[in-house]
Structure 1
């Protein structure tokens, strides 16, 4: 799935990923390939991303945001 993570200053990540774990208002949730369309508000926590081409997990400390999934494209605005 294609993932784009942006904040008000720059694009933090734009590439493919196999998994995302994000801090939602009601707890952490995971997004995988072919996930149903979905929108969530994010709270403070750690956004965990597993890149498609690299086995190393990427962790980003966030202070809230919005996540949208649609047609294997994930957009995260922090």
Structure 2
């Protein structure tokens, strides 16, 4: 599935992932391949991304923390997420 993370300043990440865990207002939740369509608000917390490989722009790489070769995290203040047809768009502050 494809994940795209966008902030008001720039596109932070776009790529093929295997899972993402997000800080929802009702608690943390994970999205895997073929998840049902969803739109949700996000609260302050950490976005955890698992992917076979990561490619970041030079500017956005400093915002992500490497856990290991296949896992990175991103701290956000708030946001919105939409998942539809194996494409996830996160609008993050």
Same fold (TM over 0.5): yes
Find the aligned partners of 2:35 and 2:70 in 1 and give their Cα distance: 22
Deviation at 1:53, TM superposition (A): 3.0
Q: Which runs of 5+ in 2 are unaligned?
A: 55-68
CA RMSD of aligned residues (A): 1.1
Which stretches of structure 1, 4 residues or longer, exceed 2 Å deviation after superposition? 52-56
Structure (1/2) with the larger helix percentage = 2
1:52 is aligned to: 52
Contact 2:52–2:70 (CA under 8 A) maintained in structure 1: no
Aligned residues: 78
Partner deviation per Cα, 1:9-53 (whole Å, 9 max, x = no partner): 111100010000000011100000000000110000000001233
Corresponding position of 1:74: 88
The structure where strand makes up a greater share of residues is 1
Residue among 38, 45, 62 paired with 2:76: 62
